[in-house]
Amino acid sequence: MYPDKILLQAEKPGRYVGNEINMVRKNPTEVATRFAFAFPDVYEVGMSHNGLQILYALFNRRDDVYCERTFAPWSDMEMLMREHNLPLKSLETYSPLADFDFVGFTLQYEMTYTNILNMIDLANIPIKAKDRGEEHPIICGGGPCAVNPEPLAEFFDFFFIGEAEEAFDGVFDIYAKHKADKGDKMTFLSKIAVLPGVYVPAFYDVRYNADGSIDNFAPNNLGAPERVKKVHVKDMDRAFYPEKPLVPLIETVHDRAVIEIFRGCVRGCRFCQAGYIYRPHRQKSVDTLFEQAQKLLESSGHEEISLLSLASNDYPHLNELVDLLCERFTSENVSISLPSLRIDATNSEVLRKVQSVRKSSLTFAPEGGSQRMRDIVNKNISEDEILQGARVAFEGGWDRLKLYFMVGLPAEKDSDLAAIGKLSEDLVSVYYKLPKEQRRRPVSVTVSTSCFVPKPFTPFQWFGQETVENFMSKQRHVKQSIKSRQISYKYHDAETSVMEGALSRGDRRVAAVIERAWRLGARFDGWSEHFSADIWRNAFEESGVSLDFYAHRTRPYDEILPWDFIDMAGVNKDYLIKESQKVEDML
Amino acid sequence: MSLKQSYFRYRISFTKLGSTRFIGHLDLQSLFQRAIKRAKLPVAYSEGFNPHQLLSFAAPLPLGMGGFEEMLEIFLIYEVNVKEIVTLLQDQLPDGIDIVGVVEVPAIGRSAAAIIQKATYRITFSHNFDIRLEKIISDILTSESIKVEKKGKKGMSVVDIRPDIFEIVVDEDNSLRAILACGSERNLKANILAHHILGLSEIAQNDCDITYERLSIGQDVPKL
């Protein structure tokens, strides 16, 4: 543990002490491989992430591997660590990260990239792969942002593209043998480069055209495949799932048991990266889910179980599952939450059951205010369905609604923005059409707009993102379209979204910007109180990288994109071009 | 309230040591709620829209301070052997939290939190005292009033802490045990006394680290 004196000066010292329920204890000297699972955000966020629970248990189920955890220290703790020369350590055995065989980062969000560099540096490990020697841990990464790993290529030894449950064992098997044989790092990397899902950036060279676009991307190593194939779980019922989740001792963002009802999505919303990269759609059976729910609740003591997926409505046995869970657990004071439930007339029954235990605000995500916009993004929901859904919710006793929209979508017009206000006002009117006795208090509607960020492996991956100025004028337009006092308007910071846009579609040259931003003091860029647009603008300028080139430029279909080398099983470029052209035809 | 009469009340004493010292009071409550749930103890719930377990803690421990005999009370809907409570619950608690005693008390009556009036602390200084600690302590114990400055909601004020000091015993050159007022009526924080002692010594305040531990809080629960 860090000394008391340090911990007592930190805000929430419970972040740094571990010792949680179901924490895995092994003797680090008795395993072949020590793996530090590194979450580049603060403890409370990382511990609420279901992927951490899965990978922690998955890796630790092997006797020859000990997976420990580490999180980004909050800024106050970073200052203390630097002042007292204390390295970043794991929570399980309080070992410095430099002692591990692997440090594996989860890449959930582009705006955590500076935290990654900071954590490597706080561990006294050189941030660039080429500066690290045999004595340093192998640094790897995976998760949704790994579908375009290029901006991070310089810092990592390898990436894993896809779902670890399916194939990560191969990496551990090869490593155990490699370590016993005392092989060197490059030999190990060339051995794993042939495994499905593994991408070793050092084994690929990129050549650029005079205009800055990519001329050629090719392996420089005989074993490395031309294209890296994403791996995914084939059978969700058989896929590994934790039975004894870590239960934190301090309050986190989500303190609840989680069952994952399905992975992937049957819809094809064109803006939604998750909808494409988690294909194909695969679901678990009610039996599996019920059994997993039972085990998780028993071993955690949580009083809430959450049904995780991209859209709960699309689970065909939702009613049956909710019935079973209610029947079994309501008497034990366990509530059920459906964080991604779309409200419509067909599921008022489910709504009523979920509500019987706890009532909070309800969330709708129409994404676009006008039908035209919803058609462009392929969000298959009509205005009637939205209004109907709201009526069902209001009748069920909800009077707090949150609405999510995007601004800056392709081909957006002022009339589409005004439609956001109009739709929100119509929802308020639906409430006031209820008989008076059904209205307990004035309705409250919160409208949130995010700034559209085009992402790799979506039909909008070529689209030039709006500028900060345009986003801000769009936000003003939405604000002006809202008249009702029952509606409050919130919007995401445009500067952050543009930086996210540049990072998400960046290539290897963007690494210089990330490093520069980190050296200028960027940390926790996803947190509005930490994000500094000035730092990032300076970072682009000082590293001679054009923000416009990566964020705002519309790319031609025939340009080689930095992530083209990834074979996104079933989502090929021709298909995405066709989808993109469908939108062009609509205009 | 009426239901409570039919419940069974247990007073449990436990340690809060090691890394659990850094778990705040509200988090400690959730920690016990989940432990009780995992232990499958027949805990009683409050009625109403958001039912919660009937358990209450006495006198929160300051963050970072170790506790050797902290206390909570739980209500169960049927009687359970105290030994069984210990076995079931101990298995579900993290390192640093050990149950040291359990006793059944009448379901009706004031809560432990309301009864507690004093607590025993151990205060350890990182420096040995130049003049003997015993001299300072005997001066404190023989004085009729001890005025210290206290930061309150309305700024600094001067308070007399002497009535809140019941006993001080010097264990070593740099360590003492003090029984101080603790509870909702009167309360003296151990650090106020420690800084006062340091002020009477020749040690510079900034040079000396002080470690605090709470050895017990008043209500004796029979040890296991």
Least confident piece of the model among A19-23, A252-256, A403-407, A439-443: A439-443
State both tokens at A491. 């919007």
| pLDDT beyond 80 at B223 | no
Instruction: Using the predicted structure, report yes or no on whether residue A129 has a pLDDT greater than 90.
Output: yes
Is residue B22 within 8 angstroms of chain A, CB to CB? yes
**Once rounded to an integer, what is the mean pLDDT over residues A149-178?**
96
Cβ–Cβ gap B38/A298 under 8 Å: yes
- For the stretch B126-156, what's the b/e string if a residue is b when 16 or more beta carbons lie within 10 angstroms of its beta carbon? ebebeeebeebbeebeeeeebebeeeeeeee
Q: Does B45 touch chain A (CB under 8 A)?
A: yes
For residue A253, the distance in angstroms to the closest alpha carbon of chain B comes to: 13
Q: Does B192 have pLDDT greater than 50?
A: yes
Q: Residue A492: pLDDT band by 50, 70, 90 thresholds?
A: very high
B157: pLDDT strictly greater than 80: yes
Beta strands in A368-475 (DSSP E): 400-407, 444-451
Distance from CA of B87 to the nearest CA of A (A): 17
Partners of B21 in beta bridges: none
Strand partners, B180: B119, B165
Residue A360: the pLDDT is 62
Give the pLDDT band of residue A346 (cuts 50, 70, 90).
low
Q: Cα separation of A448 and A492, whole Å?
A: 8
Q: Alpha helix (H) ranges present in chain B? A: 25-38, 82-90, 112-115, 133-142, 190-200
ipTM entry: 0.92
* Per-residue model confidence as pLDDT tens digits over B120-142: 999 999 988 766 888 999 999 99
What does the pLDDT read at residue A359?
A: 56
For position A337, what pLDDT does the model report? 85
pLDDT, tens only, B102-124: 999 999 888 888 889 999 999 99
Q: Which residues of B touch A7 (CB under 8 A)?
A: 22, 64
Cβ atoms within 10 Å of A501's Cβ, excluding its own: 25
Percent of chain A with pLDDT over 70: 97
Name which of B18, B27, B95 is nearest A14 (Cβ-Cβ): B27
Residue A279 pLDDT > 90: yes
- The per-residue b/e assignment along A352-387, b for 16 or more CB within 10 angstroms, e otherwise, is ebbbebebeebbbbbbbbbbbbbebbbbebebebbe
Residue of B nearest to A294 (CA): B38
Once rounded to an integer, what is the mean pLDDT over residues A417-427? 95
- Burial (CB < 10 A; 0-12, 13-18, 19+), residue B189, is middle
pLDDT category at A522 given cuts 50, 70, 90 is very high
pLDDT tens digits, residue range A321-336? 999 999 999 889 898 8
Chain B nearest C-alpha distance from A299 (Å): 6
Confidence of residue B155 (pLDDT cuts 50, 70, 90): confident
pLDDT at A355 over 70: no
Q: Is A13 on the interface with B (CB under 8 A)?
A: yes
Question: For position A439, what pLDDT does the model report?
Answer: 86
Which pLDDT score, from 0 to 100, does residue A220 have? Answer: 96
Interface test with B, best of A4, A89, A91, A249 (most B CBs within 10 A): A249
Return the pLDDT at B4: 74
pLDDT value, residue A515: 98
A251 and chain B in contact, CB less than 8 A: yes
Q: What is the pLDDT of residue B149?
A: 86
pLDDT of residue A357: 43
Chain B positions in Cβ-Cβ contact with residue A19 (cut-off 8 Å): 18-20, 94-96
CA distance A137 to A361: 45
Q: What's the pLDDT score for residue A547?
A: 97
CA dist list (Å): A365 to A155, A450, B155, B167: 36, 11, 49, 64
Report chain A's mean pLDDT, rounded to a whole number.
94
Which chain A residue's Cα is nearest to B92? A21
* Chain A hits for B207, Cβ within 8 Å: none
pLDDT recorded at residue B131: 65
Distance CA B191, CA B185 (A): 19
Whether A247 has a pLDDT exceeding 60, the answer reads: yes
pLDDT at A441 over 80: yes
A294-303: per-residue pLDDT in tens? Answer: 999 999 999 9
Residue A352 pLDDT > 80, yes or no? no
Instruction: Give residue A344's pLDDT.
Output: 64
pLDDT, residue B127, reads: 84
Write the DSSP string, A298-310. Answer: HHH--SEEEEESS
Mark yes or no for CB contact A333/B51 under 8 Å. yes
Q: What percent of chain B has pLDDT over 90?
A: 68
A141-164: average pLDDT:
98
pLDDT in tens, B64-112: 999 999 999 999 999 999 999 999 999 999 999 999 999 999 998 888 8
What confidence score (pLDDT) does residue A345 get?
A: 58
Token pair recorded at residue A251: 């309050």
Give the lowest-confidence range in A25-39, A193-207, B166-180.
B166-180
Question: In terms of CA atoms, which chain A residue is nearest residue B47?
Answer: A333
